[in-house]
Amino acid sequence: MRGAIAGRVRPEERVGRSGLWKSRCGRSVLWRRKSFGTQSLEGSRFVERILTVITSLRQQGRDVMEYLTAACASAHGESGSICLLPDSS
């Protein structure tokens, strides 16, 4: 079954996704060891999402704190929307 599913994804996408997964997985293991894990499913989802954002930004060479600051400002209505996708211009 795994081969059938993987066969639908282009090889370059598999490499990108596996790199993201390996990087995020390694960070999450270290984070859990330092912080003793999460106390809820919501906490686990937050960690999963924030580690994905951090990994994506680092792969793009973007500043993580700058993005998170802009995200918080956007959430509070202080600025326009932000995008995690790489700049295509």
Pair of tokens at residue 52? 């994905």
Q: Is residue 29 part of a domain?
A: yes
Domain containing 61 equals 2-75
Q: Is residue 9 part of a domain?
A: yes
Number of structural domains (the chain) is 1
Q: What is the pLDDT of residue 4?
A: 44
Pair of tokens at residue 27? 């960070």
Of 86, 62, 59, 81, the residue nearest 70 (C-alpha): 81
Q: Is residue 86 part of a domain?
A: no
Q: Is residue 88 part of a domain?
A: no
Q: What is the DSSP string of 13-69?
A: HHHHHHHHHHHHHHHHHHHHHHHT--SSHHHHHHHHHHHHHHHHHHHHT--HHHHHH
Q: Is residue 80 part of a domain?
A: no
Full pLDDT tens readout for the chain, 89 residues: 344 444 455 555 555 555 555 555 666 677 777 777 778 889 889 888 988 899 899 999 999 999 999 999 998 888 888 888 887 65
